[in-house]
Chains A and B, each alone.
Chain A
Amino acid sequence: MQTHVQIHDLNVFYGKTQALKNISLDIPRNQITVIIGPSGCGKSTLLKSINRFVELSIETRISGEVLVDGEDIYAPSIDVTDIRKKIGLLAQQPFPLPMSIYDNVAYGLRIHNMHKQRNLDDLVKHYLEQAGLWDEVKDRLHTPATRLSIGQRQRLCLARGIAVEPEIILGDEPTSALDPISAQHIEKRLLDLKQQYTVVLVTHILRQAKRLADYVVFMYMGELVEHGPAAEIFENPQEMRTRAYLQGEF
């Protein structure tokens, strides 16, 4: 197992409250890592510190290191837009940008000047196929993305995210706003995508975690309680709190 993201002593404060306490964690390459825990435990914060979204909130203080391929993404010499290109995010609510379906997928390619090397049409088709949306939208690529159903929107957001060829895909409860069928679609895509990408997923649905996870991270009140391969954590948790959570006590 190869490590892709290394987190060392990460602390995140929102104003005076500490959201993450001394987190150290290795995230394996080309696997699905699922972060679980009760609401308010800091799982979203941990996820968003990987693509530097935590700093979008006001008065955030961050200490510690997050290394992606051995490079500290919080180093002053790093261009934050490069980090976010390398690390895609699938948000809780799908937000298609106010443009057509085609332009949504092409958005990242255009802003990074990536479309000059290859034919943009082919690229858009390719990524829509990867996201499992191509067949549904191929006849109306130039209609506004807002006309899609919410499940289709989330897959469009996935296509938009992978179009910039990231290495890591973060998912912040990406199925929580979707109906069960659409959620299944997304889960299937994520399982396919782990061949090429490292996937980190936050979820509060334990069943989903069990379906998808290769590696599990359990958090509680801003602390990292336990982490390890999925089988070990689910079958034989070492910590009381993990066991209690898995048994549905809180």
Chain B
Amino acid sequence: MKKLFTQRNIEEIIFRILMTLSFLLVAGGLGAILWTIVIKGLPALNLDMITQVPQGGYYLGKKGGILNAIMGSLYLAGGGTILAFIISLPIVLGLNVYAKNSRWAFTVRLALDIMWGIPSIVFGAFGFIVMLALGLRASLLAGILILCLLELPILTRTMDEFIRMMPSELEETSFALGSTKYETALYVIVRQILPGMATAILLAFGRGIGDAASVLFTAGYTDRIPSSILEPAASLPLAVFFQLGTPYPEVQQRAYASALILTAIVLFISLLSRWLSGRLGRFAIK
């Protein structure tokens, strides 16, 4: 017979209810964010927003758009990601082919994890004083360099985890054919982690484009689209932040629209990465 109201069954039921409630709470909270951004941002969104840079008096509610911030963000995050990727590749291969499971590999992974955890404002402050020491001004270059540091652990650890999931037989097969470690790294492992690379690059790019605190110090803000890497660059998160800080409702509306644009870019990147890792995964051995 089923005994419904024993103590343990009641406990089971209570926790099931609590779990459902907290699931709804978290899912609802996160759903609410997207909903709010869309509802608030959509009415203020127009073509000018994404095709024009701020005109005179933009921050008082006059004409213009945030093309400067969109382009600035793409330059910043793009540059940072490319640079970080170039640096991360030898680190990943060195970790997984040469250092393997040594104590050193453990230390490096720990350092990367710690780096991942460093708040972006600390990166920003660090970048700022290094810039001061070198006599540099806020510029696209400085922003790219700092974003590179911020994204480096994301790229490296994501690819690293991918390689670690790889069956070790694959590597052994390569060695069995007489390949050196270098050849194995370049021809077998790199190919195997292509889907991982796509995921890692997009993840890092998404993080870079959404980061505000680090570029606040290093890239500055400008109404123009930068034409050289030594000029300051605007960015979307800061565009949101600054526009929201003005007392004019029209400008605040535009902040919501900017937030919507930023969210859309980040979500698009996230979905793209899912799709890509599925496509590129066809040749990877699972």
Chain A interface residues (CB < 8 Å from chain B): 77-79, 111, 113
A77: contacting residue among B1, B6, B7, CB under 8 A: B1
The reply to whether B2 and A78 contact each other, CB–CB distance below 8 Å, is: yes
Cβ-closest chain B residue relative to A78: B2
Cβ-closest chain B residue relative to A81: B8
Residues of B within 8 A of A78 (CB): 2
Distance A78 CA – B2 CA, assembled complex (angstroms):
6
Additional A-B contacts beyond A79-B1, A79-B2, A79-B3 (6; CB < 8 A): A77-B1, A77-B2, A78-B2, A111-B8, A113-B6, A113-B7
**Could you tell me the distance in whole angstroms from the C-beta of B57 to the nearest C-beta in chain A?**
62
**Could you tell me the distance in whole angstroms from the C-beta of B15 to the nearest C-beta in chain A?**
15
Distance A113 CA – B7 CA, assembled complex (angstroms):
10
Q: Helix, strand, loop or mixed for chain B's interface?
A: loop
**Could you tell me the distance in whole angstroms from the C-beta of A113 to the nearest C-beta in chain B?**
8
Residues of A within 8 A of B6 (CB): 113
**Could you tell me the distance in whole angstroms from the C-beta of B13 to the nearest C-beta in chain A?**
14
Interface size on B (CB < 8 Å)? 6
Distance A111 CA – B7 CA, assembled complex (angstroms):
10
Contact with A along B112-135 (1 / 0, CB 8 A): 000000000000000000000000
Residues of B within 8 A of A111 (CB): 8
Cβ-closest chain B residue relative to A77: B2
**Could you tell me the distance in whole angstroms from the C-beta of B82 to the nearest C-beta in chain A?**
42
Cβ-closest chain A residue relative to B7: A113
> Which residues of B from 240 to 272 have beta carbons under 8 Å from A?
none
Distance A79 CA – B244 CA, assembled complex (angstroms):
59
Cβ-closest chain A residue relative to B8: A111
Distance A65 CA – B79 CA, assembled complex (angstroms):
66
> Which residues of B from 1 to 20 have beta carbons under 8 Å from A?
1-3, 6-8
**Could you tell me the distance in whole angstroms from the C-beta of A80 to the nearest C-beta in chain B?**
9
Distance A167 CA – B137 CA, assembled complex (angstroms):
81
**Could you tell me the distance in whole angstroms from the C-beta of B55 to the nearest C-beta in chain A?**
59
Residues of B within 8 A of A79 (CB): 1-3
Residues of A within 8 A of B1 (CB): 77, 79
Residues of A within 8 A of B8 (CB): 111
Cβ-closest chain B residue relative to A80: B2
Cβ-closest chain B residue relative to A112: B8
Cβ-closest chain A residue relative to B2: A79
**Could you tell me the distance in whole angstroms from the C-beta of A68 to the nearest C-beta in chain B?**
15
